Amino acid sequence: MGNTTKKICVAGSLNVDLTLRLERFHQPGETVIAKSIHTYAGGKGGNQGVAVAKLGHPVMMVGMLGEDDNGRFYRDTLKKNGVDAECVGSAPNTPSGTAVIEVDDRGENRIAIIPGTNGLVNNAYMDSVMERMLTCDIFMLQYEIDLATDAYLAKILHDAGKQLILDPAPAAPAPDGLYANIDFITPNATELATLTGAHVDSEEEVVRAAHMLLNRGVGAVIAKLGPKGCIYVDKETVVPVAGFCVETVDTTAAGDSFNAGFAVALAEGMQIRDALRLANAVGALSTTGAGAQSSMPTRAQVDAILSRS
């Protein structure tokens, strides 16, 4: 762990992932034989929380699970990874969130989500845990709970002087006022294109699209470009940072892992280029094994790849 006391809080989704391995993605109307099926803890919120914890940094999770087998499995996972789950509520009559994921032989994925209890995380729930949340310094949000609640929370946290990182995934138009309360937005290329309607095939196009988000009020844009690394854009600077070359098995949660690495680096007070290098390393290493959380790296693994390159 770094020598900081800054605490990270993740507010968002917790899904149990049902992951199918397939040789290739199939066509509508086509039946194929899958190679395997596995159950993993996932959800963009939970993935970000567990990735922070695996890096050895204190993290609090805010979300909702059902009182079902999946909910119990997930609580156990959070506990094993050392995530503070006191603000993860329980809902008796709704199933925990689930995701059905297909991963092909290149490690690419396709995901469909059934929100379940994630859909119950609302403003009133945030109010009920706000006092504890406000003991944290850096907040990580995504788009797998009600977007209006993301916006509600972001305003309170921003007004309280907290730092906010928004992963706009799955991509959706932002509710009014949300962007103005966000310090860092972290779309991947597909999300950046969807949010702006712009082409993002070259670095120049990515920077131009990022400026469209800056003009809507976010403090800075970090475009996540997979193996190519990432590009940081704020009103004054553009910082491209190269990615790491690894043997990819499964890209699920690579973006979540990147965000966790960035949040930890921010908590440790790193300069932006070093922070993004660390984030790239965490994202890359997370693709080297199957499943969302199982392959997320420890800090020692991240430091090893950083010192080699």
Site residues (vs ligand RIB, CB under 6 A): 13, 15, 17, 42-44, 47, 99, 111, 113, 144, 252-253, 255-256, 292
- Phi then psi for 243, rounded to 5 degrees? -90, -175
Q: Give the shortest CB-131-to-ligand RIB separation in angstroms.
A: 28
SS3 117: helix
CB closer to ligand RIB out of 13 and 96: 13
Q: Which is nearer to ligand RIB, 142 or 234 (CB)?
A: 142
Number of residue whose CB is nearest ligand RIB = 42
The one-letter amino acid at 260: A
Amino acid of residue 31: T
**DSSP, res 227:** G
Find the shortest distance in angstroms from Cβ 135 to ligand RIB: 26
Of 84 and 144, the one with the shorter C-beta distance to ligand RIB is 144
Q: How far is CA 288 from the centre of its chain?
A: 17
Q: How far is the CB of 196 from ligand RIB (least distance, A)?
A: 21
Mark whether 256 is an active-site residue: yes
Minimum distance from residue 96 beta carbon to ligand RIB (Å) = 11
Q: How many CA atoms lie within 13 A of 79 on its CB side?
A: 7
Catalytic pick from 146, 256, 274, 303?
A: 256
Burial 45-70 (b: 16+ CB within 10 A, else e): bbbbbbbbbbbebbbbbbbbbbebeb
DSSP assignments along 37-59, one per residue = EEEEEE-HHHHHHHHHHHTT--E
Compare residues 229 and 255 and give the one whose CB is closer to ligand RIB. 255
The DSSP string of 114-153 is: E-GGGGG--HHHHHHHHHHHTT-SEEEE-SSS-HHHHHHH
Catalytic residues: 256
